[in-house]
Amino acid sequence: MNVIDVIKAQHQQIKGMLEDTLSASGEERERLFKKVKTLMGAHEAAEEAIVHPVSRNQIVNGDSIVAEHLIEEDEARTALSALEKLRVDSAEFQAQLTELKQAVVKHAESEESKEYNPLATGLGTAELERMGQDFEARTRDAGGKPSKGKSQSSERHA
């Protein structure tokens, strides 16, 4: 699978996992939150290692677009760290996780339109496929299942 398809599928998976976490409670919410936090960390690390460096050089305004996305990714890491300190069943956790989900959706849409769609037209199929294999390998242990493109945490996303 090419890297753009892998990333878009993982974006959908992460959105679904965040929805599942918001819908859950107690120990199940705690478990789901840990899973989505792990996958988001691996996903962002893979983007930073594999995709962003290529985007900087291959797309128009690549440096500024990637810089914008890196700021958003840092904000997400900060939000996840803050959430870890809260009780998962608190109103504050619910509110902050809802805000994070909205930010993640906005971030994914921005990456896809500003960075990944232009990258897809600028690189050859073989390079996109190679990058996709690398990306999948880096995120697989964190629960990334891009070939299915759905949340693992709930059958309702099947």
Q: What is the DSSP string of 132-156?
A: HHHHHHHHHTTT--TTTTS-SS-GG
* Closest C-alpha to 17, from 35, 41, 30, 4: 35
Token pair for residue 62?
């690549």
Per-residue pLDDT band at 78 (split at 50, 70, 90): very high
pTM value is 0.85
Residue in this structure with the two tokens 């989505």, named with its chain if needed? 36
With 90 as the cut, is the pLDDT of residue 76 above it?
yes
CA angle 136, 131, 152 (to 5 degrees): 20
Q: Which amino acid is at 142?
A: A
What percent of the chain lies above the pLDDT cut of 90? 84
Per-residue model confidence as pLDDT tens digits over 117-141: 999 998 999 999 999 999 999 898 7
Token pair for residue 138?
């880096």
With 60 as the cut, is the pLDDT of residue 147 above it?
no
Average pLDDT, the chain: 89
1.10.3720.10, 1.20.120.520, 3.90.1150.10, 3.40.50.720: CATH of 3-139: 1.20.120.520
Q: Is 60 helix (H, G, I), strand (E, B) or coil?
A: coil
What is the CA 157 to chain-centroid distance, rounded?
17
Each domain of the chain, given as residue ranges in start order, spans 3-139
Per-residue model confidence as pLDDT tens digits over 46-73: 999 999 999 999 999 999 999 999 999 9
The end-to-end CA distance of the chain, in Å, is 20
